Amino acid sequence: RRAVFAQLRNEAPVTRDGHRVTVMVNAGLRDDVAALDLTGADGIGLFRTEFQFLVSATLPQREEQRRLYRDVLEAAGDRPVIFRTVDIGGDKALPYLHHDAEGEEENPAMGWRALRLALDRDGLMKAQARALIEAGAGRTLNVMFPMVSEPWEFDEARALFEAQRAWLAARGRKLPNVIRYGAMLEVPALAEVLDQLLPRLDFLSIGTNDLTQFLFAADRAHPKLALRYDWLSPAILRFLRRVSEQARAAEVPVAVCGEMGGRPLEALALIGLGIDRLSITPAAVGPIKAMLRSLDRGAAMAAVQGMLDRPERSVRTMLGEWAEAQG
Ligand code: PEP
Ligand code: MG
């Protein structure tokens, strides 16, 4: 099977009825970029910049950050890379940032993390913005903010980047040709005010790992809960349908970058909801491409829609049977 998937490297993820799906990979370290060539993915849909911070004993200096981002962009060539600003805090606490004085958190996943921390510690965010803008000189730079809960947080983060761009421009430095700004949707509250945020976004990416834990109030790392809440539950699928329809109506590209998209049945459901941009773990690219190339998207859309209103049966069972029947 490995050989079969390897052969798919050069095959595009096109459904049987001719719809081109975008399949990107999630990455976080310099070496992960090799996955692009190995899998033939369309780009990096989520580059987790906090990994560099997590593997370092001290705060990575701006120059170290810039070098990593530049290396990643060079290796990616023409393929887009979406850099997510640091998602530290929560379960990714850093000894050199989280001091005892700041106190232990009882609920770190819902705590002082990601954009919340970055907007408070804006020196950290400014350094990262400078590093990214310098690294993106002469290219398109895609920046994405994690854990956006309210539109003002996105505005503040974007303004911080724009201020760094202006600072560099005033000094005659070479800049990115364009900077595209996106938000992650992983806090359910954001969905309720998405209409206010969408006009300001260049793209939206749904982080189903955190989104699921917050929708179900169920710790994503808790072994006793791992099997209880299903990514194919109507609650999640209806939520994703609503958000993706809203984004599409506003002409904002929408992707899913959580682990969900890397599982064939889950990815099938996402395609059925009209989501056609996935960013997944590199090992899943082969299996997902194989699934997509055997799929009739139109039929999947009709089938999945019908399954969201049948409380008496599990969507996983129905979708599994449907997929089986399709061969
Ligand atoms: C997510 O929450 O779905 C996501 C992609 O981000 P992370 O797994 O890094 O929290
Ligand atoms: Mg997340």
Residue 300 has pLDDT above 90, yes or no: yes
Give me the pLDDT at residue 99, please: 58
Tell me which of 11-15, 97-101, 302-306 is least confident.
97-101
Residue 101 has pLDDT above 60, yes or no: no
Give me the pLDDT at residue 100, please: 52
Tell me which of 70-79, 92-101, 107-116, 228-237 is least confident.
92-101
DSSP letters, 304-316, are: HHHHTT-TTS-HH
What is the distance in A from the centroid of ligand 2 to the CA of 207? 5
Percent of the chain with pLDDT over 90: 90
Q: What pTM did the predictor assign?
A: 0.96
What is the distance in A from the centroid of ligand 2 to the CA of 106? 18
> Which are the contacts of 80, defined by CB distance < 8 A and separation ≥ 6?
24, 42, 43, 44, 140, 142
Instruction: Provide mean pLDDT across the span 286-290.
Output: 97
> Which are the contacts of 137, defined by CB distance < 8 A and separation ≥ 6?
173, 174, 175, 176
| Ligand 1, atom 1: closest residue by C-alpha | 207
Cα–Cα nearest to 128, from 86, 172, 179: 86
| Average pLDDT value for the chain | 95
Split at pLDDT 50, 70, 90, the class of 141 is: very high
Tell me which of 130-139, 221-230, 289-298 is least confident.
221-230
Instruction: Provide mean pLDDT across the span 213-241.
Output: 94
Give me the pLDDT at residue 148, please: 98
Tell me which of 2-16, 28-42, 49-63, 307-321 is least confident.
2-16
Which residues sit opposite 14 in a β-bridge?
Answer: 20
Residue 98 has pLDDT above 80, yes or no: no
Pair 16, 293: CB distance under 8 Å: yes
Residue 102 has pLDDT above 70, yes or no: no
**Reduced to 3 states, what is the DSSP secondary structure of residue 81?**
strand
Residue 57 has pLDDT above 70, yes or no: yes
Instruction: Provide mean pLDDT across the span 307-323.
Output: 96
What is the distance in A from the centroid of ligand 2 to the CA of 103? 22
Tell me which of 67-76, 95-104, 228-237, 269-278 is least confident.
95-104
Instruction: Spell out which residues line ligand 1, taking CB within 6 angstroms.
Output: 46, 48, 87, 186, 207-210, 257-258
| Ligand 1, atom 6: closest residue by C-alpha | 207
Structure tokens belonging to residue 211:
């989104």
Measured from the Cβ of residue 206, the count of other Cβ atoms closer than 10 Å reads 28
| Ligand 1 atom nearest to CA at 257 | 5
What is the distance in A from the centroid of ligand 2 to the CA of 147? 7
| Ligand 1, atom 10: closest residue by C-alpha | 210
Residue 284 has pLDDT above 90, yes or no: yes
DSSP 32: G
Q: Which helix (H) or strand (E) holds 45?
A: strand 44-48
Query: What are residue 24's phi and psi, to 5 degrees?
Result: -115, 175
Indicate which ligand has the atom closest to the C-alpha of 48. Answer: 1
Q: What is the pLDDT of residues 2-19, one digit of tens each?
A: 777 778 899 999 999 999
CB contact burial 18-42 (16+ within 10 A = b; e otherwise): ebebbbbbbbbeeebbebbeebbbb
> Residue ranges of the alpha helices (H) in the chain?
2-7, 34-39, 50-54, 62-76, 114-120, 122-135, 151-170, 188-192, 194-197, 208-215, 234-249, 264-272, 285-293, 297-307, 315-326
